[in-house]
Amino acid sequence: MRICIIDDESISLNVIRAVLSRMAAHDVECFTDPEVALERCAQVTFDLVLVDYRMGDMNGIACLKALRAMPDYQFVPIIMLTADEDRELRLSAVRSGATDFLNKPFDPEELRVRARNLLSLREAQLALLDRAMNLDYEVQKATQKLVEREEELIWRLSRAIETRDGSTGEHVSRVASVAKVIAKHMGLSKQYCRTLYLATPLHDTGKIGISDAVLNKPGALTCEERQVIETHTAIGSEILQGGESELIRMAHEIALYHHEKWDGTGYGAGLAGDAIPLSGRITAVADVFDALCSERTYKPAWPFEEACVEIINQSGKHFDPVCVDAFSAGKDEIRQIYQVDVDKSLSALSA
């Protein structure tokens, strides 16, 4: 245990050090200058501090307040040494954070007993802190496992949904990644970006309620079939509504609103502009962009640059201009997402 003694009287300082040195092995440091002592305390966390009240430029109360202002000294036991019996002084010391008092001249045995008791208190305090840190670590590990399981479940479910319309599952992965890039360049928090990344893959949950004949029909859809397809937003909303977690609540928003358009001509709830939840506005850009870049039974894949131009052209019409600006700002990162998929395809062909 480390003990710090602050007293501008050398004789008193040496006596206290001699008394405490007879206790169990402790590291004792002495200071006659309180300013120097405070500088040392800022570098090292002592387990017990003894400070004299009457000193030169800085009295014991001021020194005590300076110590308690340090984060590591909020709970360290501090003994105030004083020859004064003044009640107001003692109250002031208590208000400033003094743990105990010792009158000068002091009894050596009393000093040892008080110091020993406070050091025992400090040891118990540190043991509790260590236990709390271990518990916190265990909770973090358990929480991380739950997060990992949650993520795995989300990805497996979303990819199962994607296979219904003949997709491989890469679509949801790319949409999630592009949405995360857009959110990041909009300056949204890391927590929001993570939640969006995990919620976006569930944007087409409602497709499980659409018949295969309509969902997998080659060629153009009739007006009636298009109306059936559009019900997937309402179906997805019904499946995901009422969730307690932030993730499921955002997934519900995205499922219902990702086909809304900035100018109000989309579908879902017929919203326009800022009335469309932000998660839906971001996902709309990511979803359409990936649809443009993907080959479908009714169309070839667009080149990356042409798809980017189309997104920019739809700013203020289909898409929120702020989301489009963020998309443009993250274009290089988005290009990497699609380059990775190209590299995977080439590797599969050469295997």
What one-character-per-residue DSSP string does 109-141 give?
HHHHHHHHHHHHHHHHHHHHHHHHHHHHHHHHH
Which tens digits make up the pLDDT trace of 84-101?
777 777 788 888 888 888
- 293 CB neighbour count, 10 Å cutoff: 21
Contacts (Cβ under 8 Å, ≥6 apart) of 347: none
Contact 285, 182 (CB under 8 A): yes
Closest by Cα among 199, 195, 183, 197 to 322: 183
- The pLDDT score that the predictor gives to residue 15 is 87
* Residue numbers in the chain where pLDDT is lower than 70: 24, 164-169, 297, 340-351
In angstroms, the Cα distances linking 195 to 199, 250, 294, 326 are 6, 8, 25, 18
* Cα torsion through 154, 152, 284, 324, rounded to 10: 150
Distance, CA of 78 to chain centre? 36
- The pLDDT score that the predictor gives to residue 249 is 93
- The pLDDT score that the predictor gives to residue 326 is 97
What single-letter amino acid sits at 78?
A: I
- The pLDDT score that the predictor gives to residue 349 is 39
Contact 28, 18 (CB under 8 A): no
DSSP code, position 6: E
- By DSSP bridging, strand 2-6 and strand 100-103 are unpaired
State how far the Cα of 337 lies from the Cα of 175, in Å rounded to an integer.
Answer: 10
Angle at 95 between CA 93 and CA 99, to 5 degrees: 60
State how far the Cα of 158 lies from the Cα of 164, in Å rounded to an integer.
Answer: 10
Q: Which two tokens stand for residue 104?
A: 């000068």
Contact 111, 83 (CB under 8 A): no
Q: Which two tokens stand for residue 63?
A: 């020194």
Contact 53, 82 (CB under 8 A): yes
Q: What is the pTM of this model?
A: 0.60
Sheet of strand 2-6: strand arrangement: 27-31, 2-6, 48-52, 78-82, 100-103
